[in-house]
Amino acid sequence: MKNFIIVFLGISVLCIAQNKTDSPYSTTFTACIKKIPNPNECLEQELRLQDKKLNIAYQKAKKSIQAFRVDTLRKVQRAWIHYRDKKCAFFYHKESGSGGISDALQCELDETIRRTKELETLY
């Protein structure tokens, strides 16, 4: 039983270490969450950072595709923004309180990171 516990703890440490290096969030966000009691500040800050990354990925994708596809990419991006905004607005309602705001921000953040990765596959 003692060996099982040691092995289990070792695997747990490895999993935690791997998750930290695979995190799509910035180290600034991770540090912010640890020290600021209001996660919305951290989420908003991280969303601004990830939005900049998204814009860079979008510009690179536009430059790397054939010219006749640029207009389609622009339309897809606008549709994606509309989808993200509607999807994430679902999480916040005036009756849901401050937790709903955090949920909506987290949704926007996660969707932005996903879209950035999608665009990065184009170049």
Predicted pLDDT at 80: 98
- Number of separate domains in the chain: 1
For the cut 90, the answer to whether the pLDDT of residue 12 exceeds it is no
Tell me whether residue 26 is exposed, middle or buried, using C-beta atoms within 10 angstroms of its C-beta: 0 to 12, 13 to 18, 19 or more: middle
Tell me whether residue 109 is exposed, middle or buried, using C-beta atoms within 10 angstroms of its C-beta: 0 to 12, 13 to 18, 19 or more: buried
Q: Say if pTM beats, i.e. exceeds, 0.85.
A: no
Express each pLDDT in 13-36 by its tens digit.
Answer: 333 444 455 888 888 888 887 777
Host domain of residue 22: 2-120
User: Which residue would you say has higher pLDDT here, 115 or 15?
Assistant: 115
Express each pLDDT in 43-62 by its tens digit.
Answer: 999 999 999 999 999 999 99
